[in-house]
Structure 1
Amino acid sequence: MSSIAVATPETLIAELTLQVRKTHSEQLMPHIASILAMAEITCDQLAAIAVSIGPGSFTGLRIGLATAKALAYALAIPILGVPTLAALAYSCPLPGVYLSPMLDAQKGNVYQAIFEWRDGELCEVMPARVVPFAQAKDEMKNLPQPTFIMGEAAVMYRQEINLPLLPHVIMPRAGSAAILAQKMLRDGVTHDVYSLEPLYIRRSEAEELWEKRQAQVFSQKDGNCL
């Protein structure tokens, strides 16, 4: 999925969201150029760059962040890293319920956080974590308010949660990230273009496999006397 937006403090000017099989590396820069052209905005009119920092697809996060960093550095403007789960919840200003954005973390696990709206502000009730979906589902049954599940899990587990699918609010949108970034910028929040990193939460499967293989190698060496 690829989503790009252009916004001012007053309005969302343009948004482009595609769910296609092509990778970010194939489409990201052409889409950025297209949306700026359609919005009739030039690069020198941009005041800041916002990027979703995860959790999510490791490769997608790295490509998106590298592109955002390059743009922010070249244009000498601030960069803001927007947590993906917070941006998801920000797209649904629904008081009186808990918002639980969830993204696929593979092997039956999800990235989950819980938010709620209080007096017009989005508040974090539970920070982002990796948890089996079955466990998250059981825990939400004991919460004091109804919980609305958003994100990929709402699609992946739709038979289990028995909720109507609302594609315009359950999937990540750059427009939500852009508007949340505007609030962050007004609050004085910016990030360092050199040190901003993706919010992975967990290690990649490649790292876990490498560590397992290294442990096997050392275990075999321990059994040999020199």
Structure 2
Amino acid sequence: MLTLAIDTATSVCAVGLCRDGRILAEYRIDMGMTHSEGLLPQLEQLLSRTKVAKSEIDLLAVSLGPGSFTGLRIGLASVEAMAYSWKKPVCGVNTLKALAYNLPVEGFVLSPVLDAQKGNFYQAIYEWRAGKLIQHQDVKVVDGQQLLENLAVLGTPALLLGECRKLDDAALPGWCKKAPAHLCLPQAASVALLAEAEYDPEAAGDIFGLEPYYIRRSEAEELWEKRQQG
């Protein structure tokens, strides 16, 4: 299976190409460029450099969140447009679960986190066992203290991935560390690998049936509601 993947859930704009678990190519840019500016040029260059024709692609994969409201909408809309135009199936995956695919090693739990604003984080907890990813905790919105408490109860060394820069290194207990910076960033290749593992052609629905996994409402929606109540 040849899978083209997109991840625009964070400030990173990533596109990747995998075939049957093998990473063929990937572009990741985290330079402040808006995804609406950078995504299509990255896709075009990826296909050009790999000499892969659109007709060869078997599956389109996209990171559905949690993450940036705008980024998630751009990624999903782009994949839906390609799926409709190229007549290809789509598989949406959880952004935090895809982050856990960045580091498929055993011996500790993985806690992918993303910035949920206002001192909060989106957190999930996973662990690799015998080549399979086990989920210990579904996505929750937590503060820094709750984040560590959720890990402490497992009694296992932990690694943080994702947007964990706002967590003070000095405040982390000895059993909890941040993964190397190059493994913390979202990777489209991980989105592709997860999609290949989860895609079920028998259960595939309409290409426009996917929804971003927001968890909470956007700040704009919250402000609008407060104004209406006032």
Question: Could you say which residue in structure 1 is the equivalent of 2:226?
Answer: 212
- C-alpha displacement at 1:191, in angstroms? 4.6
Q: Residues 90-169 of structure 1 correspond to what in structure 2 (within 5 A)?
A: 90-153=101-164, 155-159=165-169, 160-161=171-172, 163=177, 166-169=180-183
- C-alpha displacement at 1:170, in angstroms? 1.3
- C-alpha displacement at 1:128, in angstroms? 0.6
* Contact 2:124-2:137 within 8 A present in 1 as well: yes
Q: Which runs of 5+ in 1 are unaligned?
A: 217-226
2:198 alignment partner, one of 165, 168, 184: 184
Relative distance call for 1:89 and 1:67 in structure 2 (3 A) is same
1:24 aligns with 2:35: yes
- C-alpha displacement at 1:73, in angstroms? 1.1
* Contact 1:85-1:102 within 8 A present in 2 as well: yes
1:37 alignment partner, one of 45, 48, 52: 48
- C-alpha displacement at 1:194, in angstroms? 1.3
- Superposed CA RMSD in Å reads 1.6
Following the alignment from structure 1 to structure 2, what is the Cα–Cα distance between the partners of residues 189 and 97? 33
Could you tell which deviates more after superposition, 186-195 or 21-30? 186-195
Following the alignment from structure 1 to structure 2, what is the Cα–Cα distance between the partners of residues 102 and 204? 18
Question: Could you say which residue in structure 2 is the equivalent of 1:76?
Answer: 87
TM-score normalised by structure 2 residue count? 0.88
Relative distance call for 1:188 and 1:87 in structure 2 (3 A) is farther
SS at match of 1:4: strand
Relative distance call for 1:205 and 1:164 in structure 2 (3 A) is closer
Amino acid at match of 2:105: L
Amino acid at match of 1:46: I
TM-score normalised by structure 1 residue count? 0.90
2:207 alignment partner, one of 193, 208, 220: 193
Identity %: 42
- C-alpha displacement at 1:192, in angstroms? 2.8
* Contact 2:17-2:192 within 8 A present in 1 as well: yes
1:14 alignment partner, one of 18, 25, 30: 25
Give the count of matched residue pairs: 215
* Contact 1:97-1:116 within 8 A present in 2 as well: yes
Question: Could you say which residue in structure 1 is the equivalent of 2:72?
Answer: 61
* Contact 1:101-1:149 within 8 A present in 2 as well: yes
Amino acid at match of 1:212: K
Following the alignment from structure 2 to structure 1, what is the Cα–Cα distance between the partners of residues 55 and 69? 30
Following the alignment from structure 1 to structure 2, what is the Cα–Cα distance between the partners of residues 204 and 104? 13
Moved over 3 A (4+): 162-165, 186-191
Cα shift readout 1:104-140 (whole Å, capped 9, x = no counterpart): 0001000000011122110111101111122212332
Structure with bigger helix share is: 1
Relative distance call for 1:190 and 1:148 in structure 2 (3 A) is farther
Q: Which runs of 5+ in 2 are unaligned?
A: 1-11
1:85 alignment partner, one of 96, 102, 106: 96
Question: Could you say which residue in structure 1 is the equivalent of 2:189?
Answer: 175
